Amino acid sequence: MPSEQTLSADVVIVGSGVAGSSIANELARAGISVIVLEAGPRVDRQHFVENFRNLENKPSYQGPFPAVPWARHPPNQITPNDYLHTSGPNAEAYQQVYLRMMGGTTWHWAGCAWRYLPSDFELKTRYGQGRDWALKYEDLEPFYYQAEVMMGVCGPDPAKEDLGSPRKQPYPMEALPISYAAQQFRKLIDEKTPWRVVHEPQARNTRPYDSRPTCEGHNNCMPICPIGAMYNGSYSVYHAEAAGAKFIPNAVVYKIERDSANKRVTGVQYYDPDKNSHRVTGKYFVIAAHCIETAKLLLVSADEQSPDGVANSSGHVGRNMMDHTGVQVTFISGDKALWPGRGPLETNVIDADFSHLRQFRV
């Protein structure tokens, strides 16, 4: 049973990743009371950096971010685990990783911040597949820019490099310089193919921005930027707390409560690390706990009114999930020295008639 102490706020958010923390920041700045419940701990960046330095397997995205017993997550992409299991025709090919800690999985994201193309919103109209979005690109354009300002996105001059997504404002920061290795690769692509190599928009500083330093090119953006030049959700946590939002770490939400009369959500229950139960009530609720943990929470909160789970009248919660797909190609440069490993990762994109954008890493 929940403890006698019950916290309350206008808005209760489950999850402190980029979605939950940025929503909390916007609401708190507007004077709305906010409580954010995060399953994992709050850990300082330098602790993660030290973990990375001590790793035997440096490319391990999850390595610097060990899970705590009360908020587990998959250890890495290839290690079998007893926490996350998937089913389906090719379940073993889906190797999902995510973090449960303050700031969320953007601790080890690549920082790539391109926009959808206008054609992405019209798949049925243009290609006869799926459905068109209810929104158009033009409807989201001002919100794309708002997000770019929040994260601090650098990118090319639209007048010089058109990435296919029309802009009303320039990027908040100028694009990252292209490394020597990428320059040589671009020269080869330009000479041998009809494609172009262009700058990739990234949430990475090319000048001091939002109290974060300029990128120094350490070349280990994944799994951890050692100096904090790349945006992650922990910065939105910082801003939200400064604006008055309350964050509660180590709070594993296990139940969504609803009013039996109108089915409206009235509260959530969570465990602390000692398995003591607590309750938080509010007027509005945001479930932003990563796609897997969000689906799990909705499903385990099933009740007599909704035996298939909360917000699951369609039956699709926890199904039809799709992640990034990609192919890794290794090539030999012969006797030409490319001096790889200098500068940030994934600074460029190969484009082909804007039907697809393909990033590459040197």
Among 112-116, 148-152, 337-341, where is mean pLDDT lowest? 337-341
Helix (H) or strand (E) holding 189: helix 180-192
* Residue 163: C-alpha distances to residues 37, 70, 138, 204 (Å): 38, 43, 15, 18
What is d(CA 141, CA 155) in angstroms, rounded to the nearest whole number? Answer: 16
Whether pLDDT at 8 is above 80: yes
Contact residues for 338 (Cβ-Cβ < 8 A; gap 6+): 180, 181, 184, 185, 362
Whether pLDDT at 124 is above 70: yes
How many DSSP H helices and E strands does the chain contain?
A: 7, 11
Task: Give the CATH class of 1-109+232-323.
Answer: alpha beta
Whether pLDDT at 126 is above 80: yes
Span 167-210, pLDDT tens digits: 999 999 999 988 888 888 888 888 888 888 889 999 999 999 99
- What's this model's pTM, rounded to 2 decimal places? 0.90
DSSP string, 115-184: PPPGGGG-HHHHHS-S---SS-HHHHHHHHHHHHHHHT-EE--TTT---SS--SS--SEEPPPPPHHHHH
Give Cα 243 to chain centroid, integer Å: 22
Among 6-10, 110-114, 185-189, 251-255, where is mean pLDDT lowest? 185-189
What is d(CA 151, CA 22) in angstroms, rounded to the nearest whole number? Answer: 10
Residues 282-289: what's their mean pLDDT?
98
Residues 146-174: what's their mean pLDDT?
95
**Per-residue pLDDT at 355:** 53
- The C-alpha angle with vertex 305 and arms to 299 and 307, in degrees rounded to 5, equals 35
Residues 72-101: what's their mean pLDDT?
75
**Per-residue pLDDT at 162:** 87
**Per-residue pLDDT at 2:** 56
By residue count, the chain amounts to 362
Q: Where are the domains of the chain?
A: 1-109+232-323, 111-225+325-362
Residues 213-217: what's their mean pLDDT?
94
**Per-residue pLDDT at 92:** 67
Residues 125-144: what's their mean pLDDT?
95
Q: Which residue has the higher pLDDT, 153 or 164?
A: 153
Instruction: Report the DSSP pairing between strands 252-258 and 246-248.
Output: unpaired
Residues 337-351: what's their mean pLDDT?
77
Among 49-58, 166-175, 327-336, where is mean pLDDT lowest? 327-336
Q: How confident is the model at residue 362 (pLDDT cuts 50, 70, 90)?
A: very low
Whether pLDDT at 262 is above 50: yes
Q: What percent of the chain has pLDDT over 70?
A: 92
**Per-residue pLDDT at 328:** 74
